[in-house]
Amino acid sequence: MITSEQKLYTRAYQLSLFTIVYNIFEGVVSMFFGYHDGTLALFGFGIDSFIEVMSGIGIAVMIVRIRRNAGNVKSKFETTALRITGVSFYLLSAGLLAGIISDLVTRHKPQTTIWGIIISSVSILTMIWLTYAKKSIGKKLHSEPIIADANCTRICVYMSVVLLASSLIYALTRFAYADLLGVAGLIYFSVSEGKEAFEKIEGKECSCGKCRNEHPA
């Protein structure tokens, strides 16, 4: 007989799978229109979505591990996924910084940021829902790792807000550096997520900058 706890873990796993699929779709669309319209912020947002896919796969494996035995240590796959995620976020940050310099030198301007407005608006609504859905399940299960994952989903909301703001500013004012300001915001959050991935490898459960030891002495 399936218990209430098993149903909650199944729901948590389903949410992690949804996160993976959604980010793949978001990444493809964002990179396509980011490249087509010449907006670095949207293109970088798309790359971030694919990094989130790797992070999401690691979370899915974590949920399976916790479901089977909450006392188990992180699997080798989880640790590898976190390390790849952390490095990828740092590489993304470096690439976006190079992009800012290049656009400043060439005085490049996006053709339009309308797709940035549309994609970021959808992302904000989706990620807010995911944040609260994950947190609700985490609290019911008294699972700090799942609650931490829910809190970190909020970072995706912040990144979407940054993209929306920069896209709106450019669309309304044609301010030349609006897109680059959005990229700067993405760099800040990418560095934060990269740092957190490595903190998790060290045996800590993080809530977007606030970490605690997973196994206190």
CA atoms of 121 and 134, how far apart (whole Å)? 20
> Over pLDDT 90: what percentage of the chain?
58
Angle, vertex CA 212, rays to CA 209 and CA 217, nearest 5? 160
Widest distance between CA atoms in the chain:
65
CA distance 139 to 2: 20
pLDDT, tens only, 144-185:
778 877 877 888 999 999 999 999 999 999 998 999 999 999
Pick from 49, 46, 48, 25: nearest CA to 36: 46
pLDDT at 100: 94
The reported pLDDT for the residue numbered 143 is 78
The secondary structure of 72-130 as a DSSP string is PPPPHHHHHHHHHHHHHHHHHHHHHHHHHHHHHHHT---S--HHHHHHHHHHHHHHHHH
- All structural domains of the chain with their residue ranges: 4-201
What is d(CA 160, CA 87) in angstroms, rounded to the nearest whole number?
Answer: 21
Contact between residue 134 and residue 12 where contact means Cβ atoms under 8 Å apart: yes
pLDDT of 62 higher than 80 = yes
The pLDDT value recorded for residue 216 is: 43
Contact 87, 194 (CB under 8 A): yes
Judged against a pLDDT cut of 80, whether residue 208 lies above it is answered with no
